[in-house]
Amino acid sequence: MKKRILTGDRPTGKMHIGHLIGSLRNRVKLQYEYDQFVMVANVQALTDNFHNPEKVKESIGDLLCDYYAVGIDYDVTTVFIQSEVPQIHEIFIYLANFATVQQLSHNPTIKTELAQKGFEKSTPLGFYIYPIHQAADICCVKADLVPVGRDQAPMVEDCRELARKFNQTYGVSVLHEAQALFGASRNLPGIDGNAKMGKSLNNAIYLADTTEELRKKVFMIKTDPNRIRATDPGTVEGNTIFIYHDTFNENTAEVEDLKERYRRGTIGDVEVKQKLYDAMERQLGPIRERRREAEGKKAELLERVIENNNRVRAIAQEVVDQMKDAMKIRFS
């Protein structure tokens, strides 16, 4: 039997190239090797968007189009919607017995996100406990592997610990200890050089961006601030424009040549950016095309996903039943 994968995204907007590099490409590669589930995490999205349910709802269509665009094959990957599998909430409350407030408070992902959202003083409990809920997502199909970006590593670590504690406590092997599978070795910085790319940071290149938008954004990418003239020697290491070249330009000889001339101060930024734009367009052009196609069949994709929910519910119910057996609370 194929090993199982579960991963997911919060529907809070369109996906960007950070997602492409960090997780989407990996999923496309893995989907034929594994039994892959991709969850649209709309309940989790509400934990920091509860005032804005319209946005969460609208963004589901965006995600489905982005998935299609990058090559997630709806015939082999089971895409489903979190809110349609209430068994996840049941698993969540059982797992919560094995988490501690202290463990949650030390979760680096939560810490960073609390700071980003200005939630430190007044933290919504629903948000604070989402790592446990995410562990329930992973457990609901007994996933073996979780392909995510590096920022999610502590989440998967928490999930493993919860599963281990549950099994140990009841002397069972009901839950799997899922392993994280990372995409790129580093996160892609935003076009402003910020370590994280994100919508709220206004520094993202979206899969849905037109070629003109892409070009404009590439020409906005931050370069070496100490290099004022094309004849100044520049620094390549840690320079956002070269991180992008390393990530998107498959012509490595060209990249080496650009770096060499940049270091010596014999090249202008315009050439470096133009070549990056060309390289990115080669990769993102076909994705944009497919995305346009997906826009035309959003309703069909959604229907597909709604069908899948039944299947996932049945799988998750089995997990619930096994957990209830272990805890001696099953009466039917």
Question: Both tokens of residue 162?
Answer: 């919860």
For residues 309 and 11, what is the distance between their CA atoms, to the nearest angstrom? Answer: 17
The H-or-E segment that residue 275 falls in is: helix 269-295
Residue 281 has a CB neighbour count (10 Å cut-off) of: 16
Task: Write down the least CB distance from residue 132 to ligand TRP, Å.
Answer: 11
The values of phi and psi at residue 4, to 5°, are -105, 140
The values of phi and psi at residue 207, to 5°, are -60, -30
Q: Which is nearer to ligand TRP, 113 or 269 (CB)?
A: 113
Task: Write down the least CB distance from residue 24 to ligand TRP, Å.
Answer: 11
The single residue among 26, 36, 44, 239 that binds ligand TRP, judged by CB under 6 A, is 44
For residues 7 and 146, what is the distance between their CA atoms, to the nearest angstrom? Answer: 6
For residues 287 and 214, what is the distance between their CA atoms, to the nearest angstrom? Answer: 13
Site string for ligand TRP, 91-130 (x = CB under 6 A): ----------------------------------------
Q: Does residue 9 touch ligand TRP according to CB under 6 A?
A: yes
For residues 66 and 18, what is the distance between their CA atoms, to the nearest angstrom? Answer: 13
For residues 232 and 263, what is the distance between their CA atoms, to the nearest angstrom? Answer: 8
Q: Does residue 152 touch ligand TRP according to CB under 6 A?
A: yes
Question: Both tokens of residue 213?
Answer: 């938008």
The single residue among 21, 60, 110, 138 that binds ligand TRP, judged by CB under 6 A, is 138
The single residue among 148, 181, 316, 326 that binds ligand TRP, judged by CB under 6 A, is 148
Q: Does residue 40 touch ligand TRP according to CB under 6 A?
A: no
Q: Does residue 144 touch ligand TRP according to CB under 6 A?
A: no
Q: Does residue 134 touch ligand TRP according to CB under 6 A?
A: yes
3-state secondary structure of 117: helix
Q: Does residue 12 touch ligand TRP according to CB under 6 A?
A: no
Q: Which stretch binds ligand TRP (CB under 6 A): 5-13, 60-68, 83-91, 261-269?
A: 5-13
Q: Does residue 62 touch ligand TRP according to CB under 6 A?
A: no
For residues 131 and 274, what is the distance between their CA atoms, to the nearest angstrom? Answer: 42
Q: Does residue 36 touch ligand TRP according to CB under 6 A?
A: no
For residues 76 and 287, what is the distance between their CA atoms, to the nearest angstrom? Answer: 19
Q: Which residues on neighbouring strands pair with residue 148, listed in sequence order?
A: 182
Question: Both tokens of residue 254?
Answer: 């060209």
Q: Does residue 137 touch ligand TRP according to CB under 6 A?
A: yes
Q: Which stretch binds ligand TRP (CB under 6 A): 145-153, 196-204, 218-226, 310-318?
A: 145-153
Site string for ligand TRP, 305-324 (x = CB under 6 A): --------------------
Chain residues binding ligand TRP by CB under 6 A are: 6-10, 39, 41, 44, 134, 137-138, 146, 148, 152
